[in-house]
Chain A
Amino acid sequence: MQNSPMLHIGRFAALGFTQILVLNNVQFGGYLNPYIYILFILLLPLRTPPLVMILSGFAMGMFIDLFTGMMGLHTAATLFVAFYRKRIMKVVIGVREEDYLGTPGIRDLGPWRFFYYAGAATLTHHLLVYMLEVFTFINFWSVMLRTLANSMVSVVFIMVAMVLFERRRHG
C-alpha cells in the first residue's frame, strides 16, 4: 500500500492543485512564492526506475507550467531535480542500504536527513526556476537572493506538510 501507484498519483494531484490554486496565490511581499509540489518528486521511492522518475518529473513540471502559463520553466527545473535526485541525496546525506526500502520521507530518513535532502533539492530547483525565468545573468545577485529566500519558505512549507500528513510508523 505504502508505495502503490495510486498513492503517488493521488499525491501528484493533491500537491499540484494545492500549488496552483492555493500557494501560487500566497504572496509574501510580492517576492516569494512557496513551491511545495516538488515534494511529489522527493517522496517517490528510491527504487523507482529512472524512466519513471524522468516522466514523473516532466509531468509534474508540465502540469504546473500549463496552469501558470510559464511554459517549460517548472518542467526544466523539476525534470532536473527528478533525474539528479539520488545524486543530490548522495552528496548531502549519503544513501544507506535501508533507504532503498521505503519512501525517503521523515519516517525513513529521520527529520534532519530529510531536511538536508529536501533543502538541497529545493535549492537546486529554485535556482533553476529563477535563472531560467530571467534568462540573463544581469540580475545575478537578485536571483541568488530570491532563490535563497524562497527556498527557505518552500522548505518550511514542505516540512510542515510532512509533519502534518506523513503517516506514523505503527508499533
Chain B
Amino acid sequence: MHRIVAFFLKQYPFFLFLLLEIVAISLVINHNNYHKGVLRLGVSEVSGTTYEIWSHITGYFSLHQQNRALAEENARLRSQMPDAFKASDRKVFVRDDTVYQQQFEYVSARVVKSSVNRQRNILMIDKGVNQGIAQNMGVMGSDGIVGVVQSVSANYALVLPVINVGANIFARLKSNDQKGIVSWNGASYHYAQMKGIPGHILVEQGDTIITSGQSVFFPEGLCVGFVTDYVQSPGDNFYTIRLRLGVDFNSLNHVYVIRNLMADEQHNLLKENGDAE
C-alpha cells in the first residue's frame, strides 16, 4: 500500500497531466455536439465584451465598405416600400391584414466575432435573450443566409454558420424547385456543397439556390448561393453541386436574426405527431 501511494506521489505530474487532458478532450467532445452550447454561455459574456470593444476599434477600418453595403441595402429596401409603387388600379388593389398575417420578424445585429478558417466556424452576434433572440432562429445577411442561432446568453448569441461542417440547410434550386440539402466540406469558405438533386434534373451553372421554406428557421426564397459546377458520381443517382455562397463570411458585419412568429405552432404540431425534428 505504502509503495502504491509512493508511486502515485512520485508520478503525480503524469496523472495530473492525464486528468487535465481528459477534461480538455471531453470538453471538445461536448462541444462537437452542438446542442450542448451550455458550457460556453457564461464564457461568451466575458469574451463577447472583449471582442465587442476590439471590434469597435477595428470596425473603423472598414467603415467605408460597411457604409456602402448598408447604403446599397437601404436603396434596395426603399425600392420595396409602398411609396415606391404606383397603385395601378384602385379597384383591384386589395390589401387585407386578415389575409396576410405576419410570420417573420427581423432583428438587426452586429457580428462581433467570426472565423472562416476552422472546420467548425462559429459567429458571435451582439444580441441575446434580452433582445428577444432564442435558440434555433435563422440568421441572414444582406446577401443571403448566414446560419442558425445555436446558443444565447443575456446579450450575445452564438450562430452556427453555413460554413461549419455540422450545418445542414434545406434549400432548393430557384429555377425548378428541386429540393436538396446544403452542407459544407470544411475547405473554402466561399463554396458549399448541395446534395439530393436527382440526376435527371437539368442543372445549369449560375442557377440560384434559395431556402426551400421547409425549415422553421428561414422564410422561403432567401439566397443561399449560386451553382458553380456539378458532378454526378458513377452509381449515384444524385448530383453533388458546388455552389458559391452568397454571403462573404470574411467581411460579414451586419446581420438580421429571423424570428418566426409561428415557430412554436409548427414545432408543437410536429411534436404532437411524434415527428420532433
Residues of chain A whose beta carbon lies under 8 Å from any beta carbon of chain B: 21, 24-25, 27, 29-33, 50-51, 53-54, 58, 61, 65-73, 75-76, 79-80, 83, 132-135, 139, 142
Contact = CB atoms under 8 A, between A and B. Distances in A.
**Which of the four size classes fits the interface of chain B?**
35 or more
Interface string B25-53: 11111111000000110011011001100
B155 to A, nearest CB: 15
Interface in B16-30: 16-17, 20-21, 23-30
A120 B13 CA distance: 22
Contacts of B26: 72
B43 A69 contact: yes
A133 B17 contact: no
A73 B28 CA distance: 6
Contact of B43 (A25, A66, A142): A66
8 contacts: A33-B115, A54-B17, A69-B44, A70-B31, A71-B39, A75-B24, A133-B118, A142-B186
B64 to A, nearest CB: 18
Given A50-B13, A134-B165, A134-B186, A31 B117 contact: yes
Contact of A71 (B40, B50, B165): B40
B32 A27 contact: no
A90 B113 CA distance: 40
Interface of B: 12-14, 16-17, 20-21, 23-32, 39-40, 43-44, 46-47, 50-51, 54, 58, 113, 115-120, 122, 124, 158, 165, 186-190, 250
Contacts of B12: 51
Given A61-B24, A69-B158, A134-B165, A27 B116 contact: yes
Contacts of A80: 21
Contacts of A24: 115
A29 B120 CA distance: 17
A77 B113 CA distance: 23
Tell me if A's interface is mostly helix, strand, loop or mixed: helix
Contacts of A32: 117
A27 B47 CA distance: 21
Contacts of A21: 54
Contacts of A75: 20, 23-24, 27
Nearest to B22: A76
A54 B13 CA distance: 8
Contact of B25 (A31, A132, A134): A132
Given A54-B13, A69-B122, A72-B24, A135 B29 contact: yes
A24 B165 CA distance: 19
A116 to B, nearest CB: 24
A68 B31 CA distance: 12
A88 to B, nearest CB: 14
A68 B122 CA distance: 9
A30 B188 contact: yes
A30 B188 CA distance: 6
A70 B187 CA distance: 18
B117 A30 contact: yes
Given A30-B250, A66-B43, A133-B120, A79 B186 contact: no
